[in-house]
Amino acid sequence: AAGVIQSPRHLIKEKRETATLKCYPIPRHDTVYWYQQGPGQDPQFLISFYEKMQSDKGSIPDRFSAQQFSDYHSELNMSSLELGDSALYFCASSTNRQGPTGTQYFGPGTRLTVL
Partner 1 sequence: SQQGEEDPQALSIQEGENATMNCSYKTSINNLQWYRQNSGRGLVHLILIRSNEREKHSGRLRVTLDTSKKSSSLLITASRAADTASYFCATDDRGSTLGRLYFGRGTQLTVWP
Q: How many residues does the chain have?
A: 115
The answer to whether 93 contacts partner 1 (rule: CB under 8 A) is no
What is the total count of residues that contact partner 1 (CB under 8 A)?
A: 28
In whole angstroms, what is the distance from residue 67 CA to residue 53 CA? 8
**Smallest distance, Å, CB 103 to partner 1?**
5
Q: What is the DSSP letter of 99?
A: S
The answer to whether 5 contacts partner 1 (rule: CB under 8 A) is no
In whole angstroms, what is the distance from residue 80 CA to residue 69 CA? 23
Neighbours of 16 (CB within 10 A): 10
User: For residue 25, which amino acid is it?
Assistant: P
Q: Which one of residues 42, 53, 62, 71 is an interface residue with partner 1 (CB under 8 A)?
A: 42
- Beta carbon nearer to partner 1, 79 or 105: 105
The residues of the shown chain that bind partner 1, judged by CB under 8 A, are 31, 33, 35, 41-45, 48, 55-56, 58, 88, 90, 92, 94, 96, 100-109, 111
